[in-house]
Amino acid sequence: MSKSNGTRNHALLVGVVFAGLAALVAPACGGSKNTGFSADAGKKTGDGSVHVDTGTGDTGPKSDGKVSALGNRDSAADAPPDSGLPPGEHGCDVSCQVAGGTCMGNVCTIREKPGALTPAQEQQLNAGGNADSSFAWLYPYNATVFPRGLIPPTLQFAGTAPDAVLVHITYATMDYVGYYGASSPAAAKLSSPSWIAVTQGAAATDVVTVAVTKLSGGQVSGPISETWTIAQGNMRGQIYYETYNSKIIGGAGVGIMSLAPGGTAPTPIAKGCGNVCHTASADGSTLVANAGSLINYLVSASYDLKTTPVSTLYKDSNQGLTYGGIYPDGTFAMSATNYRTWLPGHPSHLVDTSTGATIAAPGWDGVYKQGGTTVFSPDGKLFAFNDNDTDEGQGNTLMLADFAVATKTFSGFTMLATDSSATLAWPSFTPDDLSVVYHAGNGGEVDGGTGSVYETDNGATADLYRVDLQTKTATRLDALDGYGPSGSSYLPDNDPDLSFAPTVLPEALGGYFWVVFTSHRSYGNTLASQAGGDVEGKLWVAAIDINATPGKDSSHPAFYLDGQEANHSDNLRGFWVLSPCQQSGTACGAGDECCTGFCRPDGEGGAYSCVAAPVTGCSNEYEKCTSTSQCCQASEGYTCIGGFCASPPPK
């Protein structure tokens, strides 16, 4: 596969609860510990250094003491707390004070000193220098789009180990300075309160500039700078992934994990050899997977994700549910073939997830026998799969079909993408039903069974593509995969072509769609490229644009998903779904957490809980809708995407 050609027209043959910030940041008590910075803090001086006030002298305009309330919405008074800030309301809020900052003229000024540096060291860092020519950013990547509600990322750098580090983050309403101590290898990490303040205060169009300077052996290097964008929404949903060599699971270290982005550790769902090869329903209610053993792998099961702990719905000696393409409500799945799902004499068929019974599927039965990496769209109206009948299980062709749930009928089969030199696998629909994200690559070391072309380690290579369903134009997701505008890689270890098995969050968030995928790329100075003999994959997340232009890259650089098990585990096939919905009367942060689709307060100023669908009125962000006209902020660009009102892309 060419690494220089970002667009591919495939010749017409072209499944953690992310609850986001469920609670508001607690109100700050008392005054700030710091006196702020001078009005020219952060400005470059004539010699190229960065001036940072040490906290003495005139601090500029005094704050009026007003702090905007998180979650307040002028145009939708009943909007729940997780619906985000109204357009234009950014800058100083209570998160700034919680982080120890001060608000002056809507600018949040934060200074923290976790490194306990001497005044002389701080002055050296403030002055800047160029002692280490190898000092460079390793992670995060420049131009990354971060959502809110995540663990603070670990900033990682190349070059000699520092004795001290200065991190300076600025945008229109933020001036953050952190003085950090020694680290080896070179790294720094904001405190959680500071990270929340930085991400909460940024507007969709703010350019968040991060400048870092280090002191090593008395010599100063930097600042080195990059920019980020903050999406206007808290991450949500749950990611289910399979893992090997897990210390958390213990024993053989094999099983299925659940991780909420923003969570600090995953939760085991199923343990033991054979408890892998899973998918989950878009509504977060049901998970299906292999449930066999080294002795008998021909076992699969379904699990009820709504119970605590997770309970088994069905389990039997067949593989009808292994990697099954599960319908959005979890009631049935299309069995898959040719990838750890050998079904001798049993063609792909619809399976009831609670009983294992076969369901008749007009239009499919007798037409297709081998459907690989099967998947339904989030609304259940579309279906994609590998046509393994025509390529002997190599996965060279992706097919698209319409699906009518009332009659379980498949129709309108069309070729979505094809490539005789690559396996096109793990398709996942965007929430708007307008495109499919998939991986195109070549499998690694043969694992002794049919379907090794679908592997994601042991020498496998792949990039992610997005295909437009109307034009059938497939475009490589260059920024996500690690390619720059020229086609060459911007990754520190020059290791693109290692992006596998994507799934898309079935809901728009903060003006973007979001993809989780497996990668064997390096992670800063923490994890080497293709670590552990290329069997230590990790989960990464990237934003992709909602309104994609066919033929143009719609992706943004990816970020490492903190919270997953890091040491020597192989984490793969993250399946991203919504959280199981909550019944009426249950506390909530947004409508998508509720089975009714609506989260409202109990009277003015009351606590938010799931409620019945209102008879009149409009839908707030993340609340159910069937058309854009039902969204309260439609006049501000909010649209109905995938059955929920969604904020507009940044302009």
Q: Answer whether residue 24 shows pLDDT above 50.
A: no
Question: Using one digit for the tens of pLDDT, what is the confidence trace for 268-327?
Answer: 999 988 889 999 999 999 999 999 876 777 889 999 999 999 999 999 987 789 899 999
Higher confidence at residue 71 or residue 553? 553
Whether the CB-CB separation of 278 and 289 falls below 8 Å is answered with: yes
Select from 18, 17, 21 the least CA-distant residue to 70. Answer: 21
Each residue's pLDDT tens digit, 139-176: 999 999 999 999 999 999 999 999 999 999 999 999 99
pLDDT at 453: 76
Looking at residue 520, its pLDDT comes to 96
Which of the residue ranges 80-84, 228-232, 640-644 would you say has the lowest mean pLDDT?
80-84
Q: Is the pLDDT of residue 114 over 60?
A: yes
* Mean pLDDT value of segment 585-609: 94
Q: What percent of the chain has pLDDT over 90?
A: 73
Is 21-230 in CATH node 1.10.3720.10? no
Q: Provide the 3-class DSSP secondary structure of residue 263.
A: strand
Considering 66-70, 128-132, 422-426, 601-605, the range whose residues carry the highest mean pLDDT is 128-132
pLDDT at 344: 53
Annotate 345-373 with b (16+ C-beta within 10 A) or e (fewer). eebbbbbbbeebeeeebebbbeebebbbb
Q: Where are the domains positioned within the chain?
A: 7-17+235-577, 21-230, 591-646
Does pTM top 0.85 for this prediction?
yes
Number of Cβ within 10 Å of residue 650's Cβ equals 17
Q: Do domains 7-17+235-577 and 21-230 have the same CATH topology?
A: no
Q: What is the 3-state secondary structure (H, E, C) of 27-76?
A: CCCCCCCCCCCCCCCCCECCCCCECCCCCCCCCCCCCCCCCECCCCCCCC
Beta bridge partners of 514: 543
Q: What pLDDT, on a 0 to 100 scale, did the predictor assign at position 252?
A: 85
Is the pLDDT at 559 greater than 80? The verdict is: yes
Residue 628 has pLDDT above 60, yes or no: yes
On average, the pLDDT of the chain sits at: 85
Cβ–Cβ < 8 Å for 89, 66: no
Please state the separation of Cα 295 from the chain's center in Å.
Answer: 36
What residue spans of 497-628 are helical by DSSP H? 531-534
Is residue 399 very low, low, confident or very high in pLDDT (cuts 50, 70, 90)? very high
Q: How far apart are the first and last CA of the chain?
A: 34
Least confidently predicted of 281-290, 396-405, 441-450, 509-518:
441-450
d(CA 549, CA 468) in angstroms, rounded, equals 9
State what percent of residues in the chain have pLDDT above 70: 83
Strands 311-316 and 325-326: unpaired
Please give the CATH number for the structural domain made up of 7-17+235-577.
Answer: 2.120.10.30
Q: How far apart are the C-alpha atoms of 132 and 110, rounded to whole Å?
A: 28
Range in 7-11, 456-460, 518-522 the model is least confident about: 7-11
Is it the case that residue 38 has pLDDT exceeding 50? no
- How does DSSP assign 82-138, residue by residue? GG-PPTT--S-BHHHHHTT-EEETTEEEEEE-TT---HHHHHHHHH-EES-TT-EEE
Q: How confident is the model at residue 88 (pLDDT cuts 50, 70, 90)?
A: very low
Least confident of 338-342, 381-385, 497-501: 338-342
**Of residues 293 and 211, which shows the higher confidence score?**
211
pLDDT at 3 over 50: no
Among 366-375, 454-463, 611-620, name the one with the lowest average pLDDT. Answer: 454-463
Look at residue 444 and tell me whether its pLDDT is greater than 70: no
Task: Specify the range with the lowest mean pLDDT, choosing from 364-368, 457-461, 507-511, 640-644.
Answer: 457-461
Listed residue (573, 575, 514, 576) closest to 237, CA to CA: 576
pLDDT bin (cut points 50, 70, 90) of residue 44 is very low
Closest CA to 275 of 242, 247, 251: 242
174-180 and 18-19 strand pairing? unpaired
Phi, psi angle pair for 126, to nearest 5°:
-60, -35
Tell whether the model's pLDDT for residue 240 goes beyond 50.
Answer: yes
